[in-house]
Structures are given as structure tokens and as C-alpha cells.
Chain A
Amino acid sequence: MKRMTVLFSIIALLLTIASFLLIGFTLGWFAPSVIITTNEVAVGDLRYSLSGEFITSNPLDPTVIVPGDELLTSTIGITNNSPIESQLRIKIEYTAYHNNEGEITGSTETYGAAVGEPLVAVFAFDDNDTPDNYTDDINFIYSDNWWYWDNTGYIYSINSGSQEIITSIFYDGNYTGIDYSSFDVSHPVTVSITIEVKQADNVTWSGLTTFIFTTQTTK
């Protein structure tokens, strides 16, 4: 008899639950839902590959350079396969020496293609006529220590492909005096090219690479 009581109770409970479910659907407490599945939001990415390099200099047997020596063995360039529009900028820094009443001091300068700078960087598409005209016809413009690709908004289009950037770098003998030589002390020289990229309209720049050339001139 006890088992029958339990059985009746269980059946009554199930019937009650089923009844309330039916009432719920009947009175519209529960209504069919609409589900939209597979919703995806994906952001793009930057895909650049690099080419070009400086001449090599062994720290134990430093390469001696003189004004006019080409510091690149191949043109610095990029290949852009990004699926989104992007921006790129370049900074060129180099060692300069100054003679202050016989005292030679070195400093790190940023290349801005100003007349009188001891370093010359020849950008691709430069007409390369004379030192004073190195900045003619280039496709980069200089602003706040950085060189920007000069087109509308400085934007590289999607999959813009390969592009040469800097074809030549050398110290200009017209503005590189005896202060750079090494009579009695060592005068190290460093030239670096830093390339940064970002997504268009994104305010945050991200380092892509830095090419560095360093040589330790001998006494």
C-alpha cells in the first residue's frame, strides 16, 4: 500500500508539471524563440615582410668606412600583404660628431634630409641629382622625426605589394669633417632604421623592425 501511495504521488506530480507546461504554452507564458546563430566579428591584421640590409661589420674587426661609402648592400623595402588598409613610418637615426673648440662629442641625430646633415638617406623615387636635391620627388614626407608615406592619409591600400623605401645611405663628405676620423680615439658610428606600422585610423603604432649598422672605427 505504501508503494502505491508513492507511485500515485509521483504520477500526480508529473501530471501537474505537464499541466502547467501546457498552460504556459497555451496562455503564452512560453513562446517560440528565434535564434540567430554563428555571429562573427573579426578584425584584420598587418602582414608586412621586409627586405634589404646594411653592410656587415665584425665587432672584432670593424669595417672602416669613409664618407661616401655605401652602407646598404641591398635596398630597404617592404612587401605589404595586409588584408586591411595600413600606415607605415620610418625613423633614421645616426651618430654625428661635433667639434666644440677642440672637444669632439658624439650625439645621436634623427635624419630629416636637412641641408648640411652629415648623413644622406636616398629614398626610393628620389631623383638623386645632387645632394641638395636628395629630397626632390620622394614619396615620403618628414614630420616629428618620422618619415611617412606621402599619399592621402599616408595609407597603404590592401595588399599593396612590394615597395622600395631606401635605396642608399652614406655619410656625406661635404658635411663630415675630420672630427669623424680616429687619430687618437675610437669613434663608433651607428645608423639605425626603425619601421613602425599600424592599422589605418588606429592611433597606436607598433614596431615592425629596426635595421642597425654599427662600426667601431679604429684608432
Chain B
Amino acid sequence: MLKKQMVLSLTVLITAAVLFIVVTFAWLTVSEIVNIDGAFITLEDVDATVQLQVSTDVDHIEYTLVEGGISLENAVPGDVFYYRLLITNTGLKPILSRVVFNGFIDEPANDLIAYDEEQSLINCIVLNSYNTANASTIENDLISTRIGELSGGLTYANASFILVSDVDIAVGEDEYVYFTFTVAEDAGNEYQNLKLTISSILIQSAAD
């Protein structure tokens, strides 16, 4: 019985080792197609670049590159801020991309000025979004609505929501994901001096 198990585990080990060697060849090979003893493996070169851009002109036609992340100060109710993500497929295969907002932390914009720590800007910042790749849109949703109900143990600091997914981008092509932040017009003075930090905007891509 023990001998059988030994033989079986050794067989599995050898199989795993062969599998590992084969895929290592594929990974390390620069060529698009790997030929190992007549077996062809296609190497999928998936890559994408992303630019965050902002529009400040009246008609929101011109967008300029944002160095770093989003930075908005002294917003007042009714203010709308226009952004877009330019995603370029620089790989050799069509890709599907998605954009995820992660981590929402409230704190005072100015430590020396009073603020209401019971309030959170996720309850007064309205999100709109659309993209040039598919018909997916977000219309007038509060950030808190997009996050939804927090499951056990989760806090807004480690919560996330998907802005858009399945953004299909052909090789060498660009697609845009537009989104706006609006400070709700009925936001009261209780939201004064608050700052919302969005820890990260994650743009993930995979082969289509």
C-alpha cells in the first residue's frame, strides 16, 4: 500500500516537474510562438498603458494629463469635475480592461478647522460614467451606493467598487472611460472641510 502511494506521488511529481519546465520555456521565450518538440504554445503579450486626464474647459472637450492622482480642493455643492482614463492596448492581443476604485477614507481637509466626523463625502459625491467601448454607464449614483452594503468586518477604507468592466480594446487602439464627480447640490454645511481619499484607482487588463 505504502509502495503504491510512493509510486503514485513520484509520478505526480515527475508530471508536475515536466509541466513546470514546459511553461517555463514558454514564459522565458521572447518569441510569440513557442515550439517544443512540435507542440506550439502561443505567447499572449498582454499590456496596456493608462493615462488619467482632466477637463477644465467650459465645454469639456479638451482633456489634459494629470500628473499623479485626482486632487480636488475647496469644492462646493454643485461643482462637477470631469475626468477620463485613456487606456491604450500596447500588447499583441485584444484585451478586456476594468477600472476599480479602492479604499475610501474620510478626514478633515484642514486639521485646524472644525468638521463633522459623523459625515462622509461618499454620501454627497455623485458619480457618472460612460466609456467608448461598451454601453455600460453609471448615472447619478452616490459613491456609497456604488460601494453598497458593507459585509462583515469590511470598512470603507478597504471597500471597493467597479467603475466599469469588459472594456474591449483592440490591439494598438485606445478606449476612453469618462467619469465625473459632482458634489451634490443639496449637500449641507455639515459636509464642510471634509476630504475623501480614494486610496487607488486600479486598471486591470487581461487577454480577451
Contacts and interface: CB of A to CB of B under 8 A. Distances in A.
A41 B191 CA distance: 12
Given A36-B201, A38-B68, A202-B76, A9 B9 contact: yes
Contact of B24 (A22, A28, A39, A83): A22
B167 interface: no
B16 A11 contact: yes
B23 A5 contact: no
B43 A26 contact: yes
Interface in A11-35: 11-13, 15-16, 18-19, 22-23, 25-35
Interface stretch (B56-64, B108-116, B131-139, B150-158): B108-116
A45 B44 contact: no
B197 A27 contact: no
Q: SS class of chain B's interface: helix, strand, loop or mixed?
A: mixed
Contacts of B91: 28, 31
Contact of B206 (A23, A30, A44, A45): A30
Contacts of B12: 8-9, 12
A107 interface: no
A42 interface: yes
A72 interface: no
Given A15-B17, A31-B47, A200-B76, A8 B186 contact: no
Contacts of B45: 28
A187 interface: no
B193 A45 contact: yes
B171 interface: no
A83 B44 CA distance: 52
B76 A43 contact: yes
A28 B193 contact: no
B9 A8 contact: yes
Contacts of A18: 20
A34 B95 CA distance: 14
A202 B69 contact: no
A203 B185 contact: yes
Interface in B171-208: 181, 183, 185-189, 191-207
Contacts of A47: 113
A28 B206 contact: yes
Interface residues of A, number: 51
Nearest to B189: A206
Contacts of A39: 69-71, 197-201
B149 to A, nearest CB: 22
A37 B75 contact: no
B193 A44 contact: yes
Contacts of A1: 2-3, 6
Contact of B207 (A29, A38, A46, A201): A29
Contacts of B9: 4-6, 8-9, 12
Nearest to A85: B76
A1 B128 CA distance: 64
B145 interface: no
Given A5-B6, A47-B113, A40 B71 contact: yes
16 contacts: A5-B2, A8-B9, A9-B13, A12-B16, A19-B19, A34-B50, A36-B68, A37-B69, A38-B69, A38-B71, A41-B81, A42-B195, A43-B183, A201-B77, A202-B76, A204-B187
Interface of A: 1-2, 4-6, 8-9, 11-13, 15-16, 18-19, 22-23, 25-47, 83-85, 197-204, 206
Interface of B: 2-3, 5-6, 9-10, 12-13, 15-17, 19-20, 22-24, 26-27, 41-50, 52, 68-78, 81, 91, 93, 95, 109-110, 113, 115, 121, 125, 181, 183, 185-189, 191-207
